[in-house]
Amino acid sequence: MAVKDYIRERFFPHMWCPGCGHGIVLNSMLRAIDALGLSKNEIVMVSGIGCSSRISGYVDFHSLHTLHGRALAFATGVKLSRPELNVIVPMGDGDALAIGGNHFIHAARRNIDLTAVVMNNRIYGMTGGQYSPLSGQGILATTAPYNSIDSDFDVVDLASAAGATFVARTTTYHARQITDLLKAAILHEGFSVVEVMSQCPTYFGRKNRLGSAVDMVERFKKITTPIGSKAKREHPELIERGIFVQKETTEYCSAYDEVIEKAMKGN
């Protein structure tokens, strides 16, 4: 099956701004799914509201376009009812960690077998460029015209501390790594989080004078480095890329099946 067979061509051209990183994520995601040889009927994609969440409308899978911040709650219901399916949840930084933050930490705590893809462009792109929980201090946004004073979450640290059993990070510059990490995340039996640092030239880039979309993508190469690299030891400010957590523990659906079995036996 070709990658193009996984998309709903009738909905193209897409609605993303020129230079947006979400198209790169979609491309890399479809390449991962194609490389794994997954049937379209084996996949459910669940999204909330936001630029990134439009991905569910472009793929020819079973899909749910749900409420802002509630994608993981809907995905949990899908997975519990049909645990044999591969459930992928694309989210933006605000969708995942602002209104959706509570669902995020509890999905991680439960270790339910979902693949959460957090597209981190550090801004609310769809609703006008407001700052998000991942914007960080000193960032300009429509709701922070004199700079944001809020500290930002670290997605890797938060997911790891909450109990996610697969945690990874990369950027849209490293498109092939996105594919590799998503392949590993989808195959992992447990809650998987893949953060993809993505560019928003329309709001974040323009407000913070980061140049064109190309400039922003090239910047990801300069400010990141592989986990444990010599460059990280020499320049601690660099952001690490790669797999931070990969461990096997009891998955929620399998544990729930055991509860059902006990109940059926009357124990």
Structural domain boundaries of the chain?
18-265
pLDDT, position 1: 66
> Measured between alpha carbons, how far is 75 from 44 in angstroms, rounded to an integer?
9
Distance separating alpha carbons of residues 259 and 267, to the nearest angstrom: 10
pLDDT tens-digit map of 129-144: 898 999 999 999 999 9
Strand runs (DSSP E) across 36-151, as ranges?
43-47, 62-65, 86-92, 115-120
Per this entry, what is the length of the chain? Answer: 267
Strand partners, 130: 124
Separation CA 62–CA 56 (nearest Å): 9
Give the pLDDT score at 129.
86
Name the nearest CA neighbour of 117 among 59, 174, 183, 161.
183
Residues of the chain short of pLDDT 70, as ranges, are 1, 267
Which CATH class, in words, describes the domain spanning 18-265? alpha beta
User: Which residues does 185 contact at the CB level (< 8 Å), separation at least 6?
Assistant: 115, 117, 166, 168, 192, 193, 194
- Residue 28, both tokens: 């890399």
What six digits make up the tokens of 222? 């300069």
d(CA 57, CA 65): 8
How many alpha carbons lie under 13 Å from residue 181 in its C-beta half-sphere? 28
**Structure tokens, 153:** 């979450």
The C-alpha angle with vertex 178 and arms to 193 and 24, in degrees rounded to 5, equals 115
Summarize pLDDT for 183-208 with one digit per residue, the tens: 999 999 999 999 999 999 999 999 99
The CA distances from residue 10 to 14, 34, 42, 58, 90, in Å, are 10, 20, 22, 9, 21
Global pTM reads 0.94
Of the CA atoms within 13 Å of residue 186, those in its CB half-sphere come to 26
